[in-house]
A and B are shown apart, each in its own frame.
Chain A
Amino acid sequence: MSELADILKNLDWSPLWISLKTGVVATVISFFLGIFAARRSIRRGPAARSVLDGILTLPMVLPPTATGFFLLLLFSKRRPFGAFLYGQFGIKVVQSWLGCIIAATVIAFPLMYRNARAAFEQIDMNLVYAGRTLGMSDTKIFWKVVMPTSGPGIMAGTVLTFARALGEYGATSMLAGNIPGKTATVSQRIAMVIQDGDYLTAGVWVIVVLLIAFAVIFLMNFVAGKNMKNLERW
């Protein structure tokens, strides 16, 4: 027992903050990008759409380390694009917190995109037509009619995106590395302490992650439940 108290007292909490920050930022980016992409892809013809769909969904299907490999190819300072970013703007992606965000976003984005698209496909086109004949601009129709009506689907997408971004390991470890206090996320810390045989510290982190996961899902369901009240259910 005193061992546990000791661990808690001396625990470096930085992986928690890094994971949370990364998760939130990646979710926000994925939220807007995913909705934007979903809206775009719905308007495409079937051929362009399946190509777009394939590319956008790929990171979800590929092993995260494979995605990490591609990201490394792209952003490494020894490669043209990475060198350009570093030379022109001083932006360093590899071995930095930015790398964490990019890895988490790329991996989690397809969840947002696919859920948003599925939700938009369920929308009764008459709602959109009605909005147009009432003089509402397409932007207004989208934010005021389409988005709230597809609320539950968007919510589900957001929860899954956040959960995925929070727990990202493979691509993050390749692109951002495991630098304590900088890029060491909770999942990387758990893997690391397990390797050292420190099961008690790993257990503490697992409990922390569990609590966060429950809190997030509960919160999202609560908000979604409020929205759902106005919609028909089966």
Chain B
Amino acid sequence: MNLEVDISKKLRDFDLRVSFSEGRKRIGILGASGCGKSMTLKSIAGIETPDAGRICADGRVLYDSARKINQKPQKRNIGYLFQNYALFPAMTVAENIAAGLSGTREEKRRRVREMTGRFHLEGLEDHYPSRLSGGQQQRAALARLMACRPEIILLDEPFSAMDAYLRDQLQEQLSEMLEGYGGTVVLVSHNRDEIYRFCDDVLIMEQGQVIRAGEKKAVFAEPRIRQAAVLTGCKNFCSLERRDAHHAFLKDWGIELFTEREIPEETTCIGYRAHWFIPVWAGEHPEYEGKIPPNSFRVQERRRVKLPFEMNFYLVPQGKRQPENPAYISWFAQENIQKFLEKKGMPDFLQLDEKQILFLK
């Protein structure tokens, strides 16, 4: 199964220009609200029409502005899971599931029974959607779209309006329900965790453009673009002045950076995840006596926020030189580090682990 999308559409705030070709089964589109990801999904489903471009699914042309092809959503055979599930309020669960089916009454009934069994909706057939719990609604909506045997399933932020506990449960439920499904699934979300746990490949969108795409592990390890790093959850950024392949100056933190790794030439900025700072206590390192350790800055605490399982510190960085434009640094100290903090007090320095530095542009 191959999904090819290459479309453009003028939107109010920006132009949507999305182009990708994906062969993987689970595709995630990650982007902030209003970046055009939902519009992309709706264009694939045929609910919205792009201004120009082409959409193909497995060689089947769904939309091609050059050849004046624009298949109706009814003919595309694409299942769409809406954020609010869009169950028909005046129909029972069974009627909802049967709504898109064709065939004789007996065939429909058999298919409905099969779906209610598969999606654990037995006993709820005669209930109306308003009487169902969130999880049941999701299963009913899935049963309804799966009943039509779609070739592609599009999930439009299915979890974004939920509390964390329910979200975890329903993500698991959705993964489980889609386990045997052979077609392509596209999940759109602004939540990196959702995308990471659900997808093989990820596309990161910003202002109507795909700014980074690839296998999810590679994209999260190397977002390459600053906005992409933000969306993958990176909290700390610092502009960089590259001196040579291994030396650079981190302008906002005042650190002279030396790395074994080569710094890509186009790098203008680095990203550093809040979990990865290494605390250094001066007393344990006589070799740093009177000096600032390499790739480190002196810790000046501004604020601390206690989270359920970790501590979030906001620090003002001060490296060897005065930073030009000091920016707060956010540091998450996980449980294992908190033990040391209790014993030894705040560290004197925080050190960057060069392996964890994201080189960005």
Which residues of A are interface residues toward B (Cβ below 8 A)?
Answer: 124, 126-127, 129-137, 144-145, 148-149, 151, 227, 229-232
Contact = CB atoms under 8 A, between A and B. Distances in A.
Nearest to A147: B90
Given A129-B47, A144-B99, A230-B128, A134 B148 contact: yes
A149 B89 contact: yes
12 contacts: A126-B82, A126-B84, A127-B89, A129-B80, A135-B102, A144-B88, A144-B99, A145-B90, A149-B88, A149-B89, A230-B89, A230-B128
Chain A CB count within 10 A is highest, among B42, B72, B76, B99, for B99
Contacts of A135: 74-75, 77, 100, 102, 148
Nearest to B150: A133
Nearest to B128: A230
A129 B82 contact: yes
A199 B78 CA distance: 69
Contacts of A134: 99-100, 144-145, 148
B90 A132 contact: no
Given A134-B148, A230-B128, A129 B90 contact: no
Nearest to B80: A133
B214 interface: no
B45 interface: yes
B73 interface: yes
A-B interface, 8 closest residue pairs, ranked by CB to CB distance from nearest: A134-B100, A148-B90, A130-B86, A126-B86, A132-B73, A230-B128, A133-B80, A129-B47
Nearest to B90: A148
A132 B148 CA distance: 12
Given A126-B84, A132-B46, A144-B88, 20 more contacts: A124-B84, A124-B86, A126-B86, A127-B89, A129-B82, A130-B86, A131-B99, A132-B73, A133-B46, A133-B47, A133-B74, A133-B76, A133-B79, A134-B145, A135-B75, A144-B91, A145-B88, A145-B99, A227-B90, A230-B128
Contact of B90 (A130, A136, A151): A151
A231 B90 contact: yes
B356 interface: no
Chain B CB count within 10 A is highest, among A126, A148, A227, for A126
Given A129-B47, A230-B130, A232-B130, A136 B89 contact: no
Interface of B: 42, 45-47, 72-80, 82, 84, 86, 88-91, 99-100, 102, 128, 130, 144-145, 148
A124 B73 CA distance: 18
A145 to B, nearest CB: 5
Given A134-B99, A144-B99, A230-B130, A129 B86 contact: yes
Chain A interface helix/strand/loop/mixed: helix
Nearest to A144: B99
B318 to A, nearest CB: 52
Given A132-B46, A132-B47, A133-B45, A149 B90 contact: yes
Contacts of B89: 127, 149, 230-232
A172 B88 CA distance: 42
Contacts of B148: 134-135
A229 B75 CA distance: 34
A124 B87 CA distance: 10
Contacts of A133: 45-47, 73-74, 76, 78-80, 145
Nearest to B78: A133
A224 B91 CA distance: 15
A19 B109 CA distance: 46
A130 B77 CA distance: 12
Chain B CB count within 10 A is highest, among A133, A137, A231, for A133
Given A135-B100, A135-B148, A130 B80 contact: yes
A137 B74 contact: yes
Contacts of A127: 86, 88-89
B310 to A, nearest CB: 38
A63 B3 CA distance: 61
Contacts of A131: 88, 99-100
Contact of B74 (A136, A151, A229, A230): A136
A227 B89 CA distance: 10
A131 B89 CA distance: 12
Contacts of B45: 129, 133
A203 B90 CA distance: 43
B94 to A, nearest CB: 14
A11 B263 CA distance: 104
A129 B85 CA distance: 11
Contacts of B144: 134
